[in-house]
Every structure is written in structure tokens, then in C-alpha cells.
Amino acid sequence: MLVKKLIAFAALALTLATSACADENSVKKALESKLEGLKVESVRKTPFKGLYEVEADGKVLYVDDKAEYILLGNLIDARGKEMRNLTQERMAELEKKRRIDFAALPKDLAIKIVKGNGKRVMALFSDPDCPYCKRFEQELEKVSDVTVYLYLYPIPSLHPDAAGRARAVWCADDRAKAWSDLMLKGVQPAAKQCDAPLEKIAQLGQKYRFFGTPTLVFANGRVVPGMIPAARLEAELNGAK
């Protein structure tokens, strides 16, 4: 009798787990269908009925089971004596999980750009046709004393011509200048053919789940997706030392 009960309990647990997985998969599919280009990394139920937490492109957002309503902002748990910011807690968990070993990045795949004394270091994954990447380059112009390891990371699904421009930058006689002229002045590099490591860089970005550009990696392994202003960049560089 006891054995039968245990088997029945195990079967029920498996059914519930499968059902939960199906719910989360359906939420993922519904959200990605509504927001084209969005890469959903994880979906999980919150403590609140009908509300799902979604991790996407390095951010946390909340949706209902059909992704008909999307909430961007902080989710506060006010049930206890002290309120908890569940969004901040989750973001801290994700940030810690996403940290990578900066020293392990293959620097031979990068274009090394030294500004000032170059004492501070960072890596930059950037798409030559990405408007936010161009805005970031303008902010980077305001920062000195940093060595930037630039990884050419075109995203063909968004910018079909970016790979050709990235290859031309890599094949240029002065890669750093070719990149700067392209991003800041709109000067197109001369089309050249050479053995550019674009496929290897793409595999590297996929390994670390970099879905957008620009993506920044600092010396302490902290990953920051998206365009940030010079003041924040200075703070990140100083905090990573």
C-alpha cells in the first residue's frame, strides 16, 4: 500500500513539474512572438499568482501567462515587516552568475585600442552598424587611461551588411583607426579580404550569451549590456580595478 502511494505521489509530482515547464515555455514563446528579436533566457513563476518573471537581454521583466501585459520596473514584496525589492535581488543574482573570467578572453581575437596610459582595461563587443554602438563610441571619446579590447560582433539578423564592414576593419592596415573613422566619422573602410576571426568571435559571444551590442566586460568579470554614458563608464572602470 505504501509503495503504491509513493508511486502515485511521484507520478503526480512529475505531472506538476511537466505542467509548470509547459506553462513557462508557452510564456517564452508568447513573449518572443510579440517582441521580435527579444531573446528570452529564462522564465519562472513568481510568488504571485499569474505573474511570471522573465530574464531577457540581461534585464528582468514581468508578464502574465499569455504575455498580454508586460511590466517593467521593480517588484516589491510587502508581505513582511520589511519590504523586499525582489527585482533588485534577482538582478544581483543574475549579475553574479554572468560574471566571466576577463583573463580568459582570447585577446588575439580583439583589436587593442589604448587611450592615455591604458592602465584600466575593458572588453567591448560591438556591431559596426549598431546605432547604440556608435553612441557608445562618442561616450568612450570622453574617457582616457583605458585599454579597450574590441571584439567585432556583427549581428546579421539585425544588420545584414555589418559583417562586411567588420571584416574590412579587421583587414585594414590600422585597425583601431579604421574602427574610429567608421564609428565616429562615418568613413567606410576600404573593402579588403583577409582571414578575419568573425566566426570565432561569434562563437565566443554565443558562449557568454551576448545577445545585443554593445556589450561591455570589465576587469572584474562584470558584464554590462547596452550603451552607457561616460560617467557610468568611468565608475565601472574604477570599480573594476
Give the pLDDT confidence of 114-130 residue by residue, as tens digits. Answer: 999 999 999 999 999 99
* Amino acid at the residue 1: M
pLDDT digits (tens, 9 = 90+) for 180-231: 999 999 999 988 889 999 999 999 999 998 888 999 999 999 999 899 999 9
CA distance 23 to 72: 21
Q: At CA 46, angle to CA 42 and CA 48, rounded to 5?
A: 155
- Work out the average pLDDT over 37-59: 83
CATH number of 22-98: 3.10.450.70
Q: What are phi and psi of 202, to 5 degrees?
A: -60, -40
pLDDT score for 97: 72
User: Yes or no: is domain 102-239 CATH 3.40.640.10?
Assistant: no
For the chain, give every domain's residue range: 22-98, 102-239
| pTM of the complete model | 0.68
